Amino acid sequence: ARQVMPRMRSIAALILEVVARTRACSVDSSTGLFTEQELYARVADGAERVRELLSRAPAAVEPTVPSPLHLFCVGIVVIRLVNAQAEMGGYSYLERCVAKLAAALADGLPGDILPARAGRADFALLLSSVTGRGACQRAAEEALSRMSSVSLDEEQVPGKAVPVLAAGHALFPQDMQAAELRFSPSDQARELLEKARLAASMAAQRRNG
């Protein structure tokens, strides 16, 4: 211990640097939300957990050792800025809008829901333990309510429309096709996010007629 003590300050500095670098890799610098890659990793972890539980389902459903139903389901919600391409008002315009909306998305969000930035104009919410679509629907509606109350007028570029929001969600394993259930957890994570993106796109199209 006496030999280590003189070096403790340097050791602590190295540890803090590692923590800072790790956080920088998992958090989007513009919004403070988790990155898309971190989202993929968390979804993959959830998919792997569900697969493990399903593989031993007969033992898990014994009356003496019941497994909570929410452990068998992972949900993801995608919230999309419709017509928010950078060419509408420039890249900085889009980033200002995204930053404001991200703050509203994360404000008051339950601790068991992970918010992420899932592309230039997409946000995502990961519900790692849900019982069904109702939880995803409620999470989407509450997020849209908070984000829709944000005023983007100050960021608006003259002659350009303010982007609107649309949301969609998908569930694992309910929304996976038979062949997709044999994918690796990382591929399943990407597939699930794409399904939620497709749902958000369909919602946006319906809103626009």
As beta bridge partners, residue 126 has 76, 114
Token pair 């497994």 in the structure block, residue: 67
Query: Which pair of structure tokens corresponds to residue 177?
Result: 């096709």
Taking 60 as the threshold, does the pLDDT of residue 75 lie above it? Answer: yes
> Measured between alpha carbons, how far is 68 from 86 in angstroms, rounded to an integer?
44
pLDDT tens-digit readout, 191-201? 999 999 999 99
Q: Is 160 or 167 the better-scoring residue by pLDDT? A: 167
Write down the pLDDT at residue 52: 85
Query: Which pair of structure tokens corresponds to residue 105?
Result: 């998305």
- What does the pLDDT average to over 23-43? 87
Residue 209 confidence class, pLDDT cut points 50, 70, 90: very low
pLDDT tens-digit readout, 119-155? 888 999 999 877 788 999 999 999 999 998 888 766 6
Q: What is the mean pLDDT of the chain?
A: 83
CA distances from 47 to 7, 9, 36, 76, 116 (A): 43, 41, 16, 12, 18
Residue 60 confidence class, pLDDT cut points 50, 70, 90: very low
> Measured between alpha carbons, how far is 73 from 206 in angstroms, rounded to an integer?
27
